A and B are shown apart, each in its own frame.
Chain A
Amino acid sequence: MVTDEDKVFKALADASRRQLLDKLRKKNGLTLGELCADHAMSRQAVTKHLVLLEAANLVVTVKQGREKLHYLNPVPINEIYMCWIGQFEQKRLQALHNLKQSLKENDHEQ
């Protein structure tokens, strides 16, 4: 079924697919051509990844004329977040995340 959590985890278990989601997070509503631009992957490979991301409901498409626009849908990830992270851990996790980010940034500066 479309809401299957397994599909979300499987779709996320691939760096190329996460890169495509990152692209949409930065700029939503991209066409297939725009998603393929400056990507090492072939158009066919990107299309295959998008089919999986759509099946997991992580990407939603809208037809506009002859083009199909791709939108990031973070709702399934949020459901996972609400299940296993919840409200109490959030502050501590955010603090850890911030620490990790600042350490990473320091790394880049050196």
Chain B
Amino acid sequence: MSNDYIYTTYIKTTAEKVWAAITNPEFTRQYWGHDNVSDWKVGSTWQHVTSEGQARIVGQVLESVPPNRLVLSWANPANPTDESRVTFEIDTIEDMVRMNVMHGNFKAGSSMAEAVAKGWPRVLSSMKTFLETGKALDTWAGHDSDCAK
């Protein structure tokens, strides 16, 4: 196993809701900016696509065990040979869900590694806020609610 990045967040929600947040375009467009589109079956293609139909990220579904594990290949459609691999692990721990996102298997000299290192922390924070408050927010926007808990 070779994973260059691992991101973890704990979310007060259920594994099923996290799975839906990753795989349902109605949800992804609210906190991740664009639609994640696929039938999420092993061997199918998936894409992260704008509302105008422009694919930003494309790949294949490599493993799919709802609601706990999803493995995708990941590439910019303009540079399809620069392919990497993303694994989502969704585990229920008491009344919370721990979501791990592992991004690795980068090709030597990949330009994707740096981009995803900046992107994932924002996507995960945004997903957490979306699932915990039910509020739709722009991926790059901040919170409206009080931050001190």
A-chain residues with CB within 8 Å of residue B148 when the two chains form the complex: 5
Knowing A5-B149, A71-B6, A73-B7, the reply to whether A79 touches B125 (Cβ < 8 A) is: yes
| Residues of A contacting B: mostly | mixed
- Give the docked Cα–Cα distance between A8 and B21 (Å): 26
A-chain residues with CB within 8 Å of residue B122 when the two chains form the complex: 78, 82
Q: Which residue of A lies closest to B138 (CB)?
A: A87
Per the CB 8 Å criterion, the residue count for chain B at the interface is: 26
Is A3 at the interface (CB under 8 A from chain B)?
yes
B-chain residues with CB within 8 Å of residue A40 when the two chains form the complex: none
B-chain residues with CB within 8 Å of residue A64 when the two chains form the complex: 1
Q: Which residue of B lies closest to A58 (CB)?
A: B8
Is B17 at the interface (CB under 8 A from chain A)?
no
A-chain residues with CB within 8 Å of residue B140 when the two chains form the complex: 87
B-chain residues with CB within 8 Å of residue A80 when the two chains form the complex: 147
- Give the docked Cα–Cα distance between A62 and B124 (Å): 19
Q: Is the CB of B142 within 8 A of A62?
A: no
Knowing A64-B1, A87-B142, the reply to whether A75 touches B121 (Cβ < 8 A) is: yes
